[in-house]
Each structure stands twice: as structure tokens, then as C-alpha cells.
Chains A and B, each alone.
Chain A
Amino acid sequence: MYADYAYLIVALPVLAFLLCLFLGWNLPRGGGFITVLATLGAFIVSLGIFTETYPHEIVHQSMHWFANFNVGILIDPLALVMLLMVSFVVTLIHIYGNGYMNGDPGAARYFAEAALFSASMLGLVYADNLLQLFIFWELVGLCSYLLIGFWYRKPSAAAAAKKAFLTTRVGDVLFLAGIILLYNNLAALNLDLKAGEYLLQFPVIYAHITQIPADQLTLIALGLLGGAVGKSGQFPLHVWLPDAMEGPTTVSAMIHAATMVTAGVYLVARMFPLFYAAPYGLTAVAAVGAFTALFAATMGLTAFDIKRVLAFSTVSQLGFMMAGLGAGAAVGAMAVGVSMFHLIGHSFFKALLFLCAGSVIHAVNTNDLREMGGVGKYMKWTMYTMLIGSLSLAGFPLFTGFFTKDEIILIAYEYGTAINFLPYIFLVVAAILTAIYTFRMWFSVFTGKERSNYGKHESPWVMLGPLVILAVFAFGFGVATQSNFYSYLDSNFEHYDVDFAELSAIGGHALEEEHAAAEGEHAPAAEGEHGAEEEHSIPWYIHNLPILIAIGGILIAGLFYWDKIKKFDPSQATGDNDPLRRTLLKGYYQHEILTGWFAETVVYGTALICNMIDIKLVDGWLNWLSAWVMGFAQHVRKVQTGVVQNYVTALVLGVVVLVVVITLAMEVGLV
């Protein structure tokens, strides 16, 4: 029954967008309650569909749009967990936003844009074809631009919005190129489609991957990966994400932690069979993800802005998810379950962390960790909920992050035994750093002495309520759903009869196939049984290493930043001129390289040369031609004397000449 109302999941937030946009100015708190109700409605519908379809059904509705395209709704396990997570987290953030944005003159605009964002993200998740997904993908990008630049009078916010928009645009162009390539390849197959089937629909794509040439598959996969890299803030297109913290904290929590940036990971998960079949497809995903995880973690270690720490942490965790999907080259479709599990868990605890940070900033009125300290005395609720979020992010045993992140590290180990250990090593180091930077932040904010004279009060309950709910999920989600989640998501591609054995033959995963066979029919689409398999395929010390990592990392952070057990002074640990320290503080000189050198020298220089060529060569010959024509005309126009008699005379003479010529011609016999 609920499935009939699936369209409401997008329609309700769109309605809220229109209401807030046009009527919000006259409503209390900018009409925020409308947005909350709309996303709550979307969540209820999603939940209804979940109870109806769990665990063996999918919902697929579709109608003709134009030419070879359709619009449709496809709700399979993969989409459903995303729908539930997005609508749930976004609802909580909107409730929190009611408190956080209270009194802001642009509150109505905020809630309208936030509602539009919710609608586009939900639409992206359950689109049934790539074109529709791309449209919502762009809408999400637009909302991101609008919300980052929400305080558009602030130059840094306007610049950050522009940066986010332009950087993701690079990825979007690659994504579009991938879609077009895929479409061309599918069209070239001359498929005999049944009524109601369209080329870019996911089931159709899944069914025909094997018929596309392998080299084309790799190109398509790289194009799609480009889009995912842009949206999910992976290296080298990660630069926009830390800057995006210029928007309100709720925006950071909603867009840049919990939902939007996961779209890239979702895209790779959605197209997982294609990546799996493409030679080097998943290898590239694993490489990008693992590198980003470590790279961003090191920068998170040195940031002083509490939101930037969290932003780098987001980039890093998205790297984990990507690497988890990439590890699918070794473990098959199970990687989707593992990666999505981290994605969902991460949205809970990262949304929680951001909202806690927002609560702190709301009270303290500064973003700078160096000016905080001892806040815990005044904000007990915020302190404990943030502690839960931090423990979860650090991967402390029994917290959500422990189950989700460590599973990724484990399958990265399997990837290591099968293909290459580099991603595994990167991820382990990144995991240690995660624990360290998370608790560096927590200790700096809540413990120690007050380092400046800041506002001392707890936030209102409209803000604390969502924190508590999210904290419950950040703690309990992992342990409660772990076993069911994997089997549910692992079954995702069975609905489309995707044969991973066949795909792996194209993708050149033969080596891992043997490896998997040796383990006992483990790899493709292992349903729930993989838990038992892992026990004897992975040594115990690898299995338990993540626990050590989490606790060790927290201890290291404590030694530097917790006044009770403090042993080292962070500013004395390395010299001021230590090159490593300077590199980290400067963020690997990214600004210098990307903006200072690449943008201002290389791109600007190229632009100058192009401009010269355009003016001198392309425009040049055209201008010369037109100048010549003009000069010629200057002479010829004198014929127009302006005296009517001359014209008449010319006319008559012309007629006479014509008559004479024609008569002569007739005489001679030419005509």
C-alpha cells in the first residue's frame, strides 16, 4: 500500500520548498515546521515501504518520459536503506535547525532550500535510471551551492559556494561523459527492449553489462568514478569540502556529512556490477579511497577550526567507504553491504558530531579549538552526546563505528591478500589518525581550562533532542543491525540476476576468484555466510587490530590533549620549523599548489594564450574580412546619389540595354 505513495517521498519536500519559499516569511521561525513535517512524512512512507517489502521485494514504478527515456522509482534494498537514513537524519537536522536558525532573517530561505535539498537527495536515491539520477544529482549540487553561500554577504561564504560549485562541476562533466558513453554502448547493442524498458534503467544496464566491450566499461567506470570523486570529496576534488563549512552548521551536518557527500559512494554502489566488470574499475576506486582516507586524516590532525576537523574527517571516512567498495574486487558484492553499512553508520555519528559542534559554536561563538577548553562544565548534554559520537567515529568497541569501519579494514585486508596491501596499510594508518584527531578535538573542546572568555550556557532542547536521538543511533545502530544489514544488502543485486562470476571474468578478477574458491565459494554474493568464512581466512591479530587502533589512538590523543594524563605539549613535540609540521599546517600546500600555482599561473597563463589566439587568429581573419568588405562598400555606396532622376535614368538605360541585347540575341538565334 505504501509503495503506491512512493512519489510522496519527493513530492512532500518539494511542496515544503514551495510553501517555505512563498509563505515562509510570514510564518513563525521561517516555516521550519513545514520542512520538518515534510521530511517526517517522507520518512514515514519510506518506513512503510520498508516494512512491506522487507526482505525479499523491490518496488519498481516507471512511466514514459520522452524519446528513449523514462521517469521511474526503483526501491531496492540499496535505495531503501539510503531513503530511511536520509529522511531520518534530515528530519532530525531540520528539527535542530528550528532552534539553530531561530532569529536569522533568512530563516525562510534556509528552510526552503533545505527542503529542496531533501527532495533532490531522496529523488537521487530512488531514481530508476541514470539520467534521472543525474538530474537530481545536479539539483543536489545546486542546493549545496545555495546553502554553502547562505550567508552570501560574507565574502568567504560566497567564495566557498563558488568553489564547491565549480569543483563538483569537474566531476559532473566526467559523470555526464560516463553516462553518454554508457548510453552509446547500450544503443549500439540494438537491444530488443520489452515495453516499459529503457536503455538507462538500472535493471537494463545490469542485464547487459556483459555485452559491452571491456575497454569501454573501464572508460565508463572512470567517468562515473569522476562524478563520485567530485561529489564525495575524494582526492583530488576534495578541496571544496573543508571550505564548505562556511554555511550554517546544520548545512554542514546535513549536506557535507550525512547525506549529499554520500551520493558519490551511493553512485559507485549502485553501479557496482559495472565497476566490478570493468578491468581496473574497482582498483581505481580502492586507490582513490584509501589515499583520500589517509590524506584527509593527516589534515584533520592539524586543523584548528572545529568544523574543519569534522570536514576532513568526513572526507577521510568517505575515503574509507570508497576503499571498501574498491575492495569488492576481492570480495564481490559483499563489499556493497560493508561500505553502505559504514555509510549509514557514519551519517548517524557524523550528523551527531556536527550538530554537537553546532551546539558548542552556538554557545561559545567561536569555531577555534584554541579558544575553547573546559566547555564540558557548562554543556553536559552536548559533551556526553559528542563523546558518544567521537567514540563511534574513532571505532571504539561496541559503538557503531567499530562495526562499520573495522569491517572495511577487514575486507581491505582480503583485498590485500588477493591484490595489493597498500590500501590496507593506508586505511590502518588512517584509522589510527581518526581516533587521534577525533579525541584531540573532544579533549580540546570539553576538558582543561577555559582559554578565552566565551558564552557559557547549554543549548535549548529543540537542539538537544535530535542530539540525544542521534546519539542513541550512533551508539546502538551497529550492534543492533549488523547481521541483518549485510544479508539484506547482499541480496540487492540478486533482484536483477546479476551473475558476478561472469562479470569477474570480464573484469579480470580471475586471481581473486581462485582465492575465493580456495576459501570455499566465498566471494560473489555471499549471503550472510561470510561471517563464518572470515574467521578462518583472516588471522586473529588482523581481526583484533582495529580495537587496538581505536584505544591506542584515543590514548595518544589523551597524552597530548587531556590535562589529567597529559605528558606532552603538542606545540613542543616538534620544532616550529619542522618541515612535516609546516606541511601539515599548510594542508600539504594545497592552496599554494592548486590556487597559487595551478589556477593563477597555469590556468591563467593558458587562458591568456587562448585569449590571444582567439583575438589574433580566430577573430583576426574575420575582422580583416569584414574590414575589407566595409572598405569596398565605402566606394560602391557613392553610386547612391540620392537624386531620383539618376535612378530613373539608370533604370531606363538598363531596360533599353536589355531590350537591345535580347533582340540581338534573337536575331542571331541564340535564344
Chain B
Amino acid sequence: MNVQILKLLAKDARMSASDISTVTGLPEIEVVNEIQQMKKDGLIRGFRTVIDWEKLDEFYVSAIVEIKVTPKAGLGFEDVAKKIARFHEVESVYLLSGDSDLSVIVKCKSFQDVSRFVAKELATIESVTSTKTQFVMRRYKELDVDLDVTDPDQRGVVSSC
């Protein structure tokens, strides 16, 4: 495991092994092997792109669905959380402290699709006692990326300071 590599990849998943090698001082082959190993160990689970879907006409609709659950004896929330995670429409599932038990991020093509999915698939799960669906109106920041920034570089071209 190499935390420095993880930190660099967390910031930029496209960073090449050669650039990582330059920054960490490790030989390139070692970087490649290390990343392979961390994938194998389940430390690195995937590489995604942060996209501002709102820039497209055909964008996705997301909702945060808060779910209350009657935990099953012996299984707690595990069983239902894993079941929910299997759905294609579900982007994330978190176990929460506080009022709700699970927070589920659902992504569909339209508001209707989200409603239908929640009503048909999530609300009907046996131990689910209630759902509260909150549509995402606008994204400002995602995975550390500020989606709101459109300011061009205000600095000049050259300076001596």
C-alpha cells in the first residue's frame, strides 16, 4: 500500500504512472505494480470522471432518498443495504446516524423515473418502513470539484513578482 500514490490518484485518476513516478521518486514499474496490487487488494475500487451533467440537454436526475428500516434480527441493516445497492439506479448507499437509517442516492433519466423507482422498488422492500425522496436541484461541488467556478484566470500573462 502506498498512501502517496493514493493521494495523487484521488486528486487526478488520469495521472500517468510516469508522472506518479516523477512525483514519488519510485521507479515507474514499481508504481504500476503498486497500483495493480492496490486494485487487487480492493483499496482502489474504480476511476471515475466528474461530469457536470447540467451542461447537457439530456442530463440525469438525482435524488437523495432517506430510508427508515426495521432491522432484521441478526442482520441489522446489512441485508437491506446490500439489497438496495444492487439496483442499477442506485449510485451510493450510506448507513446514517440520526433520524433516517439509510441514505440512498438514486440516478435516473427523469423525475418520473426516480419516483417510479422509489415507489416500485425501494418502498416495497419488506423491512423498509418509510422513504423520503429529495430531488437534487443543482450541484455546486462534487468529489472536491467546484462545479460553480467559471471565472477565467484573472492574472496577467507575465510578471516579475
A binds B: no
